[in-house]
Structure 1
């Protein structure tokens, strides 16, 4: 039975980061490298964390530490405003994110940032509301830096058709984000948090035994982009979504 249990957070561990990287590579054929992922988490470690139950149940052998068994993990990237707005509409892609150039690490109200949810995953299926609580943690951590937070984004409809059935049958429901939300439950979780599509999509297709990327930008017709592509050739998809901190004028919401 799902239950609401308080969680404490700790630093991202190497083991968890390796698992996140392996999961991302399996699910979505994007050219992300492990050093690049490490650089993201090191740029602002307050936003790349593991979550744990506050206390471990007592074990008969006296072993087992709760902190060795995270209940979930999240990686959120604090992008400087211009790069974040470009990411929303596909002018840059996730794999273009350069930690030293594009991520904000210094505090101060002079910095305007967008929080991009790269990965959110719940390992303990007894925990409910993890997507919401992990995002709230990221926002609070960002606020503590004094930043002007423009909003949050993520690939909230991201899934891989080839593996979706296996994922849906897993006991540990996955809320993986660009946010890698691979399951319908994951997508609904973020939709309930007020995220909406920006119109940018990435579609990975197999052509002549090679995986190729097709992109749909705001205003483009998806069917035109996929002309001559068979449905069973589509191996993965991601749709960018956003939730603004403040309501923005219609003509400025999608830069």
Structure 2
């Protein structure tokens, strides 16, 4: 155990960014460290299949022409965030010979709060949650990892997670409802399993399967959560969110 003065010094260094928290990035290292091809030649730096960049058959319910599930801006924005957090590509994981039996990631990208990445992997008969929270609040560029943790889920937690996935059926819904706004938050859900890779994205949800799943996964991290952290403000400020620390 460190003496009180040294403990305080270590905390100061950690919070000032001199020492990175544990990042749990073995999968990221295996995919990207020393492999420049995947960051320069593959679609969206290898985070999405190429088909996601082609015009989608899903309609937004208006007369606008078909658009890709992942546009050019998103194809640069999302990978930039994941790489800053040293988060692996779930699509590349699904392409491995030893693809995971179960992997789920919730990515929360708000306008004014710090980005959060929460993923759950099945390891043997256990479910492991890895969560990372970035240090920057707002801005266009991602920053460093402020805190991270690894948690073995209880049987009650893993059962509730599976219930939300099975009964509410987020991944059976359209991949994109085409919602957007001036500010707000992008919620991205990715899953890898026997069915391969799949992704669903939502903009500033306040109810429904996506909101319920994202809120539950955030709650499992043990980080403090106030209702305003994930919910937009009421009208006329519904696109603006509180900064929750």
TM over 0.5: no
Between Structure 1 and Structure 2, which shows a larger proportion of strand residues?
Answer: 1
Which structure has more RCO (C-alpha within 8 Å, separation ≥ 6)? 1
Q: TM-score, normalised by structure 2?
A: 0.33
